[in-house]
Amino acid sequence: GAGVSQSPSNKVTEKGKDVELRCDPISGHTALYWYRQSLGQGLEFLIYFQGNSAPDKSGLPSDRFSAERTGGSVSTLTIQRTQQEDSAVYLCASSRRPRGQVGGNEQFFGPGTRLTVL
C-alpha cells in the first residue's frame, strides 16, 4: 500500500520567505508527527496530531513555525520568515493511535523535504 508521502522533496528558498511543506499520511493512521533533522543530528520532535484532539506543539522552535491538519488527513507545516538555521530535512510520520504507555507506536516515515535557506 501507499506509504507516507511528502512534497516537495527539495525546497530552496531565500531568507525571509515563507515556505509550506506538505505531508500525506498513510490512510487510516490517526496520528501524524513532524520532525526536523539537521545535518548529522538525530530527529527533533516538532508537533503531533491525533484525530480531532488539540495538537501537541511543544516541539515547535519558534512562533514562525506552525502546522495544521485538515480533515484528519493531510498536514501542512508552514515556516514564516525563514532563517538560515531553519535549513534541515523535515520528516513527517504517521501511525495508528498510540496504545497505552508500554505498547508503543511504530511510526512510518515519509522521505522528507530537504529545506535550504540561502
Interface residues with another protein (CB under 8 A)? 31, 33, 35, 40-45, 48, 50, 56, 91, 93, 95, 98-112
Q: Quick one: CA torsion of 42, 46, 49, 50, rounded to 10 degrees?
A: 50
Nearer to another protein by Cβ, of 66 and 105: the residue is 105
Classify strands 88-95 and 108-109 as parallel, antiparallel or unpaired.
Answer: antiparallel
Place of cell 526536523: 36
Closest contact distance (angstroms) between CB of 80 and another protein is 25
Nearest to another protein of 1, 42 (CB atom) = 42
